[in-house]
Structure formats: C-alpha cells, structure tokens
Amino acid sequence: MGRIEERLEELGLRLPEPFAPAGKEFNFRLVKIHGGLAYIAGHGPFDGATPLIQGRLGDDLTVEQGYEAARLTALAILASLKQELESLDRVSAWIRAVGYVQAAPGFDKNPLVVNGFSDLIVELWGDAGRHARSAPGQGSSPSNVPILVDAIAAID
C-alpha cells in the first residue's frame, strides 16, 4: 500500500469502484496520460455507476451536502487514477481542477462546494495538492449529480 492510500485509511476513507459511465461503450478515456500529465475526465460522486448524492444546490441540497458530494467526487477521481496508474503515489502534483456545480438560479456559493474536492486533495498531497481552480455553476448534470469535476495532475 502506498503513502496516499495509507493516508486515506488514516482518514477513514475508502475508494469507490471506478466510475462506470452509462452505456457499454464510450469513446473517451476516464484518464488520459500524455507528456507527464494525467488529464482526468469529468467525474461526479459515483460508486461505479451508482450516484451517491443527487440534487441541485440551492434547491435540494445545502452547501454542506454539496461539499460532501465534492469529497466523494474526489474519491471517484482517485479510484479512476488508481485504476490507470496502479499507484496514487505516481501523482506528484495537482495542476488544475474545474468543479461544475449543478446550481439553482441565484445560488452563488459554488466555491464553497468545490472546496470539498480541493480540501481532500490537499489533505492527501499537502502543498503538492494545491491547484488552480474554477467553480462555475451549470444547469442540469448527468444522473442529477450536484457536482462534476475534471482535473489535470502531474505524474511520475
């Protein structure tokens, strides 16, 4: 077990099953490795194909519930990275993340929701986890999940 997985265990967290997009075949990769970078496709709070939290921020969900959904999204991303890289310790730095928040009109707390993703990544990687970030709001999301995150990480 690597350093990052040990840290997850210390935090009492477990990785879900890797994300399984709807449909048997899809023409994109969940993680694309190129030039020392891992480009991570949009993930939500899923365990395999099962959404763990659904709803829209500002209507169905509170900021705290959105924050938890963003943490679960981070774990889903880590499950896909582990599947692709075999070891999360190969991630040397987090470069960028975009958290798309499914928000009701007038909801303006997107950054507080996306903090759930960023906070967990920094808990696990320390300063190497600090990344550039955007937190736009959006209309509907696939499977009615409250957040989708795509990211770029440097790998060894």
The number of folded domains in the chain is 1
Residues 6+ apart with CB under 8 A from 127: none
Q: Print the domain residue range for 80.
A: 3-19+29-155
Neighbours of 23 (CB within 10 A): 7
Residue 51 sits at φ, ψ, to 5 deg, of -70, 135
Amino acid at 9: E
Asked whether residue 24 is assigned to any structural domain, the reply reads: no
> At 86, which CATH number?
3.30.1330.40
Residue-wise pLDDT for 38-76, tens only, equals 999 999 999 999 999 999 999 999 999 999 999 999 999
Res. 22: pLDDT tops 70: no
Share of the chain above pLDDT 90, in %: 92
